[in-house]
Every structure is written in structure tokens, then in C-alpha cells.
């Protein structure tokens, strides 16, 4: 369990020392932090609920043709598996590659925020530890989504669509985020709705429509229940409510406000949907985790006096420390993550 606390303590330590670092030093520290988390994700051993399932898929790629890889589901993820299998590599290569994508997205997103190390801290308990080490394909899709959200916040809609479509090659469900581009548009709204709608149809055709019946049967009609799904949906809802209450004080650009307004609406919409199908909603809600990173990293700036901002930062640190405590000690599937093992010391 100790390694997980080390993951959380790294951004806390840097938050405390950050004011003493020059801009160049901060760049090097970010590189070290990126590598540290990538190795923690990529070199883990038998950590995560789907560990053996991913081993099976890697073994399967050894006898699969490259054509079948591209014609199958999630071709981006399985292409990495195919390359690794052909090269005689192991699951650690695959996990490290996906860890690099996730951490690149987190670092890219964090460094556009006013308190980037607070973003990293917020990401640790669930996005990095649970998703990054348990939902390998979806974690890579989330990494690309985070890069895309930076583009969309800068009103670069085409780049957002590109990154989301790339993420969909790792997990098809990422295409569900494409309509956000049109909803968050601040100009040429009709044109945005038209071409993003067409791209969404293309993405749906390529990644989702052929398996829509199976997804509906497996996730909704089968009534699978994701234990803790409601709690995770509520974790997104807390920053969504805070955004509605405090967005005027956050001093956002028009593009940023429109984007995070719709992300907040979607986060709140997941509350009634989780009753219909907790597993399906839980998986979709993973793509709304960025609202936690965005709102909580900017929350201190709601306060006008610096001393009060420090108290808010401490509050955020305490809240996510509590999140990690609750998950490690009380989550029903935490046993699949405990103890943390890494091939470096095995």
C-alpha cells in the first residue's frame, strides 16, 4: 500500500517547493514526474482487475494478422499489442506505452492550468491509480481526450475531433465525447453542429454501431451493476455543481466557459442515468473525470486573498487524500490493486 502513498506524496511535495523552482527547473521536474508515473503504471505486476484479460489479448495478437488488427475493435490498442507480440515483448511494453499516452495527456492538460501540480495531485487517486492501472485501453483514450480538451479550450475544434478519434482507436466509447465539440462551439454554431455531427456519425459507424446491440445487451438489459458507480458519478458531480455556482469567479474565456459548462451538464446528467445502468454510465463517466482536474485546480482562485487560497489548496489535498484512503480500504475491488507490485523489485 505504501507505493500508492508515494504516488500521492510526489505532487504534494512539489506543491510545497514549487515557488522555489525556476521555469527551467519546473520543466525538468515535470519530465521526471512524467517518467516516474509512466514506470509506475507500465511496470506494475498483476495490478488491476483485468490484468489476466490483457495478457490473453496480447497472446492472441501473436497469431493475428495485421489486417485483422485494423479491421477489429480498438485497432490502436491492439496494434500496439501486435507490434509487441511480433517483437517478442511482454505486457509491460504495452502497459508502458499506454501509460505514456495517459501521462502525456495529464501533463499537457495540467501545464495549461494555473496550479498544474494540484491538477496532478487530483489525478492520482482515481485517474492514475484506478483507471491508469486497471482500465488500460480507456486510460489511453482519456490521455488523448485530455490533449483534445486543451485544444477545444483554445477554440481548436478540429484538433479536438482528431484527438478524440485517435482515442477511439483505443476504446470505442471515446466517440461519445465528439458532440462536446459542437456543443462548446462559440462561433459558426450551425456549421459546427453540421460537420461535427457528420464526424460523429462516421466515428459511430467505425467504432460503435456494429457492436451497439451487444453493448446494450451486456450493459443495460443484463442489468450489470458497477459497485461504487454512483459514488464515482457523484465525484464528477461535486465539481460540476461548484462550476455552476462559481464560474463567474473563475475568470474563464468564452471557449473555456462554454466547454466546462457542457462538461458539468453531462456530469450531472449521469446521476439519473446511473440508475438505468450503473456499469455503462460508470464507464462513460470516466471521460468526465477531467472536470475534477479543472475545477479543483482552479478553486483556490475563487478566494481573493492569497492566505485563503492556501487554505483551499489544503482542503483539496485533504479531500483527495480521503478519496485515496476510502478507495484503498473500502472499495470492493481494491484487492486487485493490493499489494502494489513492480517488476523493478520483484
Beta-sheet strands, E only, within the chain: none
Is residue 164 predicted with pLDDT exceeding 80? Answer: yes
Query: Environment class of residue 121 by beta-carbon count within 10 Å: exposed (0-12), middle (13-18) or buried (19+)?
Result: buried
Is residue 279 predicted with pLDDT exceeding 50? Answer: yes
Question: What are the angstrom distances between the C-alpha of 121 and each of 8, 257, 345?
Answer: 6, 23, 25
Whether 127 contacts 106, CB under 8 Å: yes
pTM for this prediction: 0.89
The highest-confidence range among 15-24, 276-285, 310-319, by mean pLDDT, is 310-319
Q: Is 75 helix (H, G, I), strand (E, B) or coil?
A: helix
**Percentage with pLDDT > 90 across the chain:** 48
pLDDT band at 22 (very low <50, low <70, confident <90, very high): low
Spatial CA neighbour of 301 closest among 237, 246, 245 = 246
Distance of alpha carbon 291 from alpha carbon 176, whole angstroms: 16
Q: Express each pLDDT in 47-84 by its tens digit.
A: 998 899 999 999 988 888 898 888 878 899 999 999 99
Phi-psi region of 73 (alpha: psi -120 to 50; beta: other; left: phi over 0): beta
> Higher pLDDT residue, 1 or 298?
298
> Higher pLDDT residue, 101 or 173?
101
Q: Express each pLDDT in 321-337 by its tens digit.
A: 999 999 888 888 899 99
User: Average pLDDT for residues 21-25, to the nearest whole number?
Assistant: 69
Q: Express each pLDDT in 188-241 by its tens digit.
A: 655 455 545 555 555 544 445 444 444 444 444 444 445 567 888 999 999 999
Query: Environment class of residue 104 by beta-carbon count within 10 Å: exposed (0-12), middle (13-18) or buried (19+)?
Result: middle
Would you say the C-alpha torsion 139, 175, 203, 105 has a positive or negative sign?
negative
Per-residue pLDDT at 330: 86
Per-residue pLDDT at 215: 46
Q: Express each pLDDT in 113-155 by its tens digit.
A: 989 999 999 999 999 999 999 999 999 999 999 999 999 888 8
Is residue 17 predicted with pLDDT exceeding 70? Answer: no
CB atoms within 10 A of CB 72: 11
Q: Express each pLDDT in 93-122 by its tens digit.
A: 999 999 999 999 999 999 999 899 999 999
Within a 13 Å sphere around the CA of 212, how many CA atoms are in the beta-carbon half? 10
Residue with cell 492514475: 128
Whether 274 contacts 229, CB under 8 Å: yes
Question: What are the angstrom distances between the C-alpha of 313 and each of 33, 115, 216, 253, 292?
Answer: 20, 10, 42, 23, 14
Rounded mean pLDDT of the chain? Answer: 83
**Percentage with pLDDT > 70 across the chain:** 81
User: Average pLDDT for residues 163-186, to the nearest whole number?
Assistant: 84
Amino acid at each position: 500500500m505504501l507505493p500508492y502513498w508515494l504516488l500521492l506524496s510526489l505532487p504534494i511535495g512539489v506543491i510545497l517547493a514549487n515557488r522555489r523552482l525556476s521555469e527551467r527547473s519546473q520543466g525538468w521536474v515535470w519530465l521526471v514526474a512524467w517518467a516516474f508515473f509512466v514506470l509506475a503504471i507500465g511496470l506494475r505486476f498483476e495490478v488491476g482487475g483485468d490484468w489476466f484479460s490483457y495478457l490473453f489479448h496480447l497472446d492472441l495478437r501473436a497469431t493475428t494478422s495485421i489486417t485483422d488488427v485494423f479491421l477489429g475493435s480498438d485497432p490502436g490498442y491492439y496494434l500496439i499489442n501486435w507490434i509487441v507480440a511480433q517483437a517478442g515483448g511482454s505486457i509491460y511494453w504495452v502497459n508502458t506505452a499506454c501509460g505514456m499516452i495517459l501521462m502525456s495527456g495529464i501533463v499537457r492538460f495540467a501545464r495549461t492550468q494555473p496550479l498544474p501540480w494540484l491538477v496532478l495531485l487530483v489525478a492520482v487517486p482515481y485517474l492514475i491509480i484506478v483507471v491508469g492501472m486497471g482500465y488500460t485501453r480507456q486510460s489511453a483514450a482519456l490521455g488523448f481526450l485530455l490533449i483534445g480538451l486543451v485544444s477545444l479550450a483554445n477554440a481548436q475544434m478540429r484538433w479536438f475531433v482528431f484527438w478524440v478519434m485517435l482515442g477511439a482507436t483505443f476504446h470505442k466509447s471515446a466517440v461519445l465525447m465528439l458532440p462536446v465539440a459542437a456543443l462548446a462551439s462559440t462561433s459558426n454554431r450551425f456549421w459546427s453542429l453540421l460537420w461535427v455531427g457528420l464526424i460523429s456519425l462516421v466515428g459511430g459507424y467505425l467504432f460503435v454501431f456494429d457492436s451497439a446491440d451487444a453493448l446494450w445487451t451486456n450493459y443495460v438489459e443484463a442489468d450489470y451493476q458497477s459497485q461504487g458507480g454512483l459514488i464515482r458519478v457523484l465525484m464528477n458531480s461535486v465539481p460540476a455543481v461548484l462550476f455552476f455556482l462559481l464560474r463567474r469567479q473563475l475568470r474563464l474565456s468564452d471557449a473555456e466557459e462554454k466547454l466546462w459548462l457542457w462538461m458539468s451538464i453531462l456530469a450531472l446528467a449521469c446521476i439519473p442515468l446511473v440508475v438505468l445502468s450503473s456499469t455503462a454510465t460508470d464507464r462513460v463517466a470516466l471521460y468526465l473525470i477531467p472536470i475534477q482536474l479543472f475545477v479543483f485546480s482552479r478553486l483556490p482562485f475563487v478566494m481573493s486573498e492569497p492566505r485563503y487560497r492556501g487554505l483551499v489548496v489544503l482542503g483539496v489535498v485533504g479531500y483527495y487524500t480521503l478519496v485515496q484512503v476510502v478507495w484503498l480500504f473500502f472499495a470492493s475491488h481494491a484487492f486487485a490493486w493490493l499489494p502494489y507490485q513492480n517488476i523493478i523489485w520483484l
